[in-house]
Amino acid sequence: MLKFAYLIILFPFIGFLINGLLGRRQIPKRWVGYIACGAVFLSFLLSVWIFVELNGDIGKYEGMPGVRVSEGGRSVEVEAYEWVPSMKVMGGERSLRIGMNLQIDPLSSVMVIVVSLVGFLIHVYSIGYMWEEGGYYRYFAFLNLFMGMMLTLVLAGNFAMMFIGWEGVGLCSYLLIGFFFEKEWCADAGRKAFIVNRIGDFGFMIGLLLIVVVFGTLDISDVMGMIGSGEAGGIEITLIGILLFIGAIGKSAQIPLYVWLPDAMAGPTPVSALIHAATMVTAGVYMVSRCAVLYVHAPAALTIVAVIGGLTAIYAASIGLMQNDIKKVLAYSTVSQLGYMFLGAGVAAFGAAIFHLMTHAFFKALLFLGSGSVIHGRKGEQDIRKMGGLKRHMPVTHVTFLLGALAIAGIPGFSGFFSKEEILFRTYVSNKVLWLVGLAAAGMTAFYMMRLVYLTFYGKARFDEEEQHVHEAPRVMTYPLVILAIFSVIVGYVGIPKVLSPGKDINYFEHYLEPSFEAHEVAAGMGGEKIHEGEDEVSAGVELMLMVVAVIIAIVGIYIAWEMYLKRPGLPGRVAGRFMSLYRLISNKYWVDELYDAVIVQPYYFLCRRSFDFDTWVIDGTVNGVRHLTVGLSHLSSFNDKWVVDGMVNILGYGIKGSSWVFRKVQTGLVQSYATVIILGTFILLSIFLIFI
């Protein structure tokens, strides 16, 4: 089935076309959801099939037309067709050819399973959540298109295809975030996401052009191979790494381009789950991991990745401490967790970054869908200060949401514990300061997540329970919650650290991904050894101690949340009053939105208005003035031509015509007339003569 891997992408696109073209009138509403879910489920089944086949004998595909099997590794490239025929570039020095080829290896096989499985559960949940909303067919068409674009990005065998998926998910996020476009603030949120992403995409695009200039190809394997073999290097590699990472900053909402993601909550809640869990925002982490060889050979770029990731992790976590909108808390949590992933990638622990991406996909989808269930039950209310006591009314949502919160808090036994500990340990080995930053962010994460749980589900209800009639969500929404909750607990056991399994190494996930990253291990002579230097020197005792410290920090965060929001509910107010300046700074999100508004948005609007004025009064004024002058001169010319020139000509004509009339009367050509005139003249002259003489 490996040679039919393109069907993974094709199924969602078919669902998009069917629902998009026929869903409005020709297809019953219920079937719109079935078609959309079925398309993604087929992609998931095929992804699992390919995962199994990839772990078997792939040597049988060697020599098959359109299929290229890597030497000694579990990697297969399948070319569907030739997209751009071979053409000369760089002054004819090299030949660039682009094919629609897919790369199937451990990294992409894990990603397509996570994306299609989480995406499928979100599709099923959407059937219940969006049933009463308008544009039902449009919603599922966009959702399928989003899935198709994300799977294109993940399976891309060259940067050109990756760019198509990269831009495609950006377009779909604009369509889905602004789904309720009749509401101005939703449309604004969609535009904001689109514009901010374009800033990052500009850097990504320049990076791709530089790849063509330096390597003469966009094939990912070929580029990484040339870097790994030492054929290319130096400042160009560092510059490419930074430019590509600028794209990742925009797509994965890192400092300073994170501002679009919290506003993206304007879209339907399942859309938030899809964007935050397994698709768009993880694209940057996946791209950096896919280019692991490049970043290992560009230590400066790798350091930037780690620093930006660490700063984003603690910065977003601090904002999450004081948010009161249930979805906004989760949004800043996503930004922070993505920072963790970049922190892992930045210390060259690409496997750990992808591991956290996978576990995060399940518990973040669970938390967002759980928040959707709460919002659904509270008739649209999203302020957690107006909730409380919901566990009695929504038992399934409560239990599953609690499991998700414990997972993201890094409590032992849950999936987030394994992946977060892996990143923190690798960070400690590489950089102690960044480790402290990550540790502090972990404590904040535990605090704000349990604050969210306590204020939403525990304590006394802060609303009229008899009037509100809060109820549990329908089964089509709770079943996905239960499945995601199960995965949020168990999926971390595929990556148990070696230190927790004395005598045997059962970190299956790390070993499975090794072939995708082994190229940078082999070519580590330029930087890999230095980066991993000291990892083996850390004893098991130290690693266990680091783990215990992280767990204690998380428990302390949970305890403080319990003390402040359950045991002594008046305490938060007193703490805020004592540290009012700090409280205002954080609760206002460091005034970054206001800063952007003052430094970028308003000056931009000012320039737009002045440009409009210049265009209206200078450019248009000049053109209109010339027009009016030309029209005036033409009228004057017309007057002169009509009344002066034509008048003189006409007067002359009329004079000649009048004088000719006299001559015509005299010069008749009739002898009788001439004789009459002669007689008459003779008579007159004779009369004069006789009278006067």
Integer angstrom CA distances of residue 665 from 589, 613, 642, 654, 670:
106, 73, 32, 17, 11
101 contacts 78 by C-beta, under 8 angstroms: yes
pLDDT of residue 465: 76
Torsions phi, psi of 503, nearest 5? 90, -15
| The most confident of 8-12, 225-229, 535-539, 566-570, by mean pLDDT | 8-12
Strands (E), 27-93: 67-69, 76-89
Note the pLDDT of residue 295.
93
Handedness of CA 48, 49, 51, 52 (dihedral sign): positive
**Picking from 40-44, 229-233, 259-263, 384-388, which range would have the lowest pLDDT averaged per residue?**
229-233
pLDDT value of residue 691 = 85
Give me the pLDDT at residue 217, please: 87
The mean-pLDDT minimum among 25-39, 111-125, 655-669 falls in 655-669
**Torsion angles phi and psi, residue 66, rounded to 5:** 80, 5
Q: Is the pLDDT of residue 71 over 80?
A: no
Looking at residue 524, what is its pLDDT? 45
Half-sphere exposure of 193 (CA within 13 A, CB side): 30
pLDDT for residue 657 is more than 90: no
Residue 19: what pLDDT? 94
Does position 539 have pLDDT exceeding 80, yes or no? no
Which residues, in sequence order, are bridge partners of residue 78? Answer: 67, 102
> By percentage, how much of the chain surpasses pLDDT 90?
58
Name the DSSP class of 83: E
- Interval 161-180: pLDDT, tens: 999 999 999 999 999 998 98
Kindly provide the residue ranges of all beta strands, DSSP E only, lying in 264-320, ordered along the sequence.
none
Exposed/middle/buried for residue 480 (C-beta within 10 Å: 0-12, 13-18, 19+): buried
Q: What is the mean pLDDT of residues 514-540?
A: 59
- Work out the angle at residue 132's Cα, subtended by the Cα atoms of residues 128 and 133, and round it to the nearest 5 degrees: 105
Asked if omega into 106 is within 30° of 0 (cis), the reply is no
Q: What is the pLDDT of residue 506?
A: 82
Least confident of 228-237, 417-426, 457-466: 228-237
Q: Residues 22-46, buried b or exposed e (16+ Cβ, 10 A)?
A: ebeeebeeebbbbbbbbbbbbbbeb
Q: Contacts by 528-537 with C-beta closer than 8 Å and gap 24+?
A: 528/296, 528/348, 530/299, 531/296, 531/299, 531/302, 531/347, 531/348, 531/430, 532/348, 532/429, 534/429, 535/426, 535/429
Band of the pLDDT at 557, cuts 50, 70, 90?
A: very high
Where does the pLDDT of residue 628 fall: very low under 50, low under 70, confident under 90, or very high at 90 and above?
very high
Q: Is the pLDDT of residue 531 over 90?
A: no
- pLDDT in the model for residue 530: 47
Most confident of 73-82, 484-493, 592-601: 484-493
Average pLDDT over residues 29-54: 94
Distance in angstroms (rounded) separating the CA atoms of residues 610 and 173: 32
Length of the chain: 693
Contact between residue 318 and residue 586 where contact means Cβ atoms under 8 Å apart: yes
Highest-confidence segment of 50-59, 183-192, 352-361: 352-361
Query: Which of 329 and 185 is assigned the larger pLDDT?
Result: 329
* Span 575-590, average pLDDT: 90
pLDDT for 536 equals: 63
Higher pLDDT, 48 or 689: 48
Residue 528 predicted with pLDDT over 70 = no
pLDDT of residue 527: 45
Q: What is the mean pLDDT of the chain?
A: 89
- What is the pLDDT at residue 65? 72
Distance CA 372, CA 98 (A): 43
93 pLDDT exceeds 80?
A: no
pLDDT at 375: 92
The pTM for the full model equals 0.86
Write down the pLDDT at residue 68.
80
